[in-house]
Amino acid sequence: MMKDLVLKNRSYRRFHQDVSIAPETLRELVDLARLSASAVNAQPLRYMLSCDTRRNAEIFDCLAWAAYLKDWPGPEEGERPSAYIVMLEDTRISHPLHIDHGIAAQSILLGATDGGLGGCMLGAIDKPRLRKALEIPAHYEILLVLALGKPSETVVVDAVGADGDIRYWRDAEGVHHVPKRRLDDIIVG
């Protein structure tokens, strides 16, 4: 069951924008992150939630989508996320933040997938612009933006080909292909 959930949890970049996500659902997803592991249990992560159309548009304008898809500027109106979670580090809490945000983001996305939603972790962020748009105080470092919604695309996992190319791509039908290395190729000892 866990493997099925992990396989279904893909980086979705096109959504049914008209399918709203309730604020309470976003709170439940952040609660999964809250309950996840944190280095030295410092719990420095903070979250800004958005399921508001105007605020979503402000966040969307600060993001870059799918670097390997050079001719695709990102989801069109009608395919955009219906919610976002902006992940922040409270820099007043002293501890080296190395993995907390990855663990928290994966917990949120697995929870979203389990609930019939999908999402994408975005690190390509115009941080100064987002800070200004959302009035994020200076003591919060912007780490990631999680885009969430009801997926409107199909994402499949393929084996990496003989050429070793790991770049994701879309076929003529718009199916998003994500090459993954073979298990035997990543176990080294």
* Closest CA relative to residue 147, chosen from 40, 74, 39: 74
Phi, psi (degrees; rounded to nearest 5) at 144 = -145, 160
**What pLDDT digit, counting tens, does each position of 22-57 carry?**
999 999 999 999 999 998 889 999 999 999 999 999
C-alpha dihedral, 160 to 161 to 166 to 171, nearest 10°:
-100
The confidence score (pLDDT) of residue 98 equals 76
pTM above 0.75, yes or no: yes
